Amino acid sequence: MRPLDVARVREVLIRLPNWMGDTVMALPALKAIRQAFPGRLITLVGPWAHLLAHQGLGDRLLDSPRTLRDQLDMVRRLRADRSMLAVLFPNSFRAALMACVWGCRWRVGYQTDGRGALLTHAVTPPRGMTHQIDAYLGLVRAVGIPTGEPDFPFECFAIPSRTSQVRFNPRPSASSTSTMRRLCW
């Protein structure tokens, strides 16, 4: 697979994982994408996108559309720029189909669930047991985005409120990546 020409990408859309824990494990990959596209608009789409507010990982945070009306509204909002890169962390056919409908010129994802024809950069999934952190980083690396060693400069804490939201504090943690992997595995 040929590397992505990052100079031609004007906007990045990242379809976040559907589960909160997987969204947390995508943080090192999100950080690598942000570093690869400084100054470009990055849109995070997913059910847990609002948890990433104030992290500097995305400029626009959108909830996953649930109703047909919400889906059509998102299509209208996102189809404006055809120089958009979509990075698809969920391995579902629907995620790849929606990236096509949203008008993303480049679509990066693992070649699973019969969606290979919908992806411009179909990445072969890792073999054997792979930690989810490494799977997300592998997807980013496959298109030529440098990732370096993963780190977790994020600390999770609860903010007491009526809605009981959880946010991440970008304060360096004393735990190493290997410790975090043992805790998550």
Query: CA–CA separation, 60 vs 16, rounded Å?
Result: 13
Give all domains of the chain, ordered by start, each with its CATH number.
6-150 (3.40.50.2000)
pLDDT of the residue at 11: 93
Digits of tens for pLDDT over the chain (185 positions)?
677 888 889 899 999 999 999 999 999 999 999 999 999 999 999 999 999 998 999 999 999 888 889 888 888 888 866 678 999 999 999 999 999 998 999 999 999 989 999 999 999 999 999 999 999 999 999 888 988 776 655 555 444 544 444 444 443 444 444 444 444 43
| pLDDT digit string, tens, across residues 56-72 | 999 999 998 888 898 88
Identify whether the C-beta of residue 56 lies closer than 8 Å to the C-beta of residue 26: no
pTM here? 0.79
CB-neighbour burial class of residue 164 (10 A; exposed 0-12, middle 13-18, buried 19+):
exposed
